[in-house]
Amino acid sequence: MDKSEKQKLVEALKKGSVTVSFTKVNTGELRVMPCTLNPKVLKANGVSVSIEGQNLDNEQIVAWALDKNAWRSFLAETVVSWEVL
């Protein structure tokens, strides 16, 4: 995933919910994760902390996993696909 595509993904996460499919580094299995960085969605899920800025030079993307109700991260290079919910 290039920097431009990563920026599009982060912007989509900030606007709402996104399903991201990626390969887990430790197991190699495919993970399909509904996630967000949208402040309204975070607040509705009882999360008082948000991540305002993602360093686009960093390979790691941090997002709130809606299915786990917890912060999760994944590497941009392992993303297979993503779509806005």
Domains of the chain with bracketed CATH: 3-84 (2.30.30)
CA distance 57 to 6: 10
Q: What is the pLDDT of residue 32?
A: 98
CA 49 to each of CA 2, 4, 82: distance values in angstroms, whole numbers, following the listed order: 27, 26, 24
Q: What is the pLDDT of residue 48?
A: 80
CA distance 32 to 37: 16
Residue 48: which residues within 8 A CB-CB, separation 6 or more? 42
Q: What is the pLDDT of residue 50?
A: 62
Each of the 85 residues of the chain gets a pLDDT tens digit; together they read 898 999 999 999 999 999 999 999 999 999 999 999 999 999 998 888 766 677 778 899 999 999 999 999 999 999 999 999 8
CA distance 20 to 9: 9
